[in-house]
Amino acid sequence: MTATQDPSSPFDARPLYRIAVFGLGPRFQRLLEIIVKHARHNNYRYQVSQHRGPGEFDIALVDLTSKGGAEVARTLKSVPQALPVIGVGRRANHRRGNDDLLLATFSLDVLGVLNRAAESVSMRERTRRLSTRLTHADAGLRLPMVSGRPPRALVIEPSPSVRSQLAVALRQIGVDAEGVGALAQAEDVLGMRSYELMILEPQQPDGDGLSMLRRLRHEPTDTRLKIPVIVLSSRSGMLDLAKAAWAGCNGYLGKPVPLSTLHSTVSRVLLRYLRPRLDAERKARAGLPTHGAESMAGLHRPPLAPVVPVPLAQGTTRVPNPALLTEAPRTLASALAALQARSACDTGSLKGLDSLAAAAAPPSGRALPPAARRDAGVSP
């Protein structure tokens, strides 16, 4: 999280950090506002934020003596690349652990505690910029900025080493990656921060990732998960591909995944999702009306069906649409061979293969142009 710019003080070069207050009483909150307003010779500027949503504050100040304060502090600290959380309370006993800021000495210590939190945020941002410069790839591979910042991806992966490798790989194409190691932590994070992409390992220590994805895709409209999801799994059987398609994934990658495949898949999925927003921002910069930006060419293309029917000798089965899955060709071929063997290699199974090929092909028997094949994820 970087320091924000305050348009009301254009000549003040000090970085500005927004403070969100959780549970602090009106008296202490007013005292905080007075202190940060008159700290004119401090190295940092602070502003008490009126909002506590994702991306609307840089430092959290939590009253641990209020009801639910300790739980709020734990949740905020569990966020990947967690923002500094300052616990305010009465405990100063080394056996139980000290609170960051005591109510008895609030006015004397609050500025120093805030400065230490701001220094940690600043150091983290400098480290991130240095890491980005060290790992940057060809400028032609980098994705465009979204609302003045790089696109963010949430990586749900139990292995810390895999999370770290994915973060470095995604940073090469201009995507900021934040990782969590459990589904419960991922749901907390999704409620507090906004992302443009999710990379999901289905096998999690606290449950099935695809079950969580299916549930989030079917929640009410205001809380439904709308961002694209790429499944990254060491299992690439036919049933695994089908489960991922039914759960609502936008791409499927098998471990280990080549770096070029990861870059191309993430770029394709993200650009398809971000195109309306990028078009609206481009029109806004040009001074054109943004109404109807979503109706540009290609945005109202009918969505691909997640599964297609395949008739067999004993009835009809349904398999994932090959055009929807990224890493499907080799696995799909072996799975279809298994379907053929299971149906005793009769004419019905051969018709099923023909219908699957017809479902993946464009109407009227015409071949897809190269750009459309790349957009659909179909190998040349």
First-to-last CA distance in the chain? 41
Q: What is the pTM of this model?
A: 0.51
How confident is the model at residue 296, as a pLDDT?
42
Could you say which residues of the chain have pLDDT below 70?
1-11, 80-82, 92-98, 130-140, 288-380
pLDDT digits (tens, 9 = 90+) for 298-318: 444 445 555 556 565 566 666
| 172: nearest Cα among 277, 260, 275 | 260
Structure tokens at 223: 């809380």
Nearest-angstrom CA–CA distance, 228 and 87 = 35
8 Å CB contact between 279 and 293: yes
Query: Any idea what the Cα angle at residue 133 is, between residues 128 and 137, rounded to 5°?
Result: 120
**Residue-level pLDDT at 237:** 83
Residue 148, token pair as written in the block? 């003045």
Partnered with residue 233 across adjacent β-strands are 254
Cis peptide before 380 (omega within 30 of 0): no
Residue corresponding to tokens 């010779």: 41
| pLDDT value for 295 | 42
Number of Cβ atoms within 10 Å of the Cβ of 101: 23
Supply the pLDDT for residue 299: 40
Q: Which residues contact 224 (CB under 8 A, 6 or more apart)?
A: 216, 217, 218
Q: Where are the alpha helices (DSSP H) in 14-172?
A: 26-37, 69-77, 106-135, 160-171
Identity of residue 292: G
pLDDT for res 215: 92
CA distance 150 to 142: 10
- DSSP 3-state percent helix, strand, coil across the chain (nearest 5): 45, 15, 40
Amino acid at 14: R
Which DSSP category does 145 fall into? P
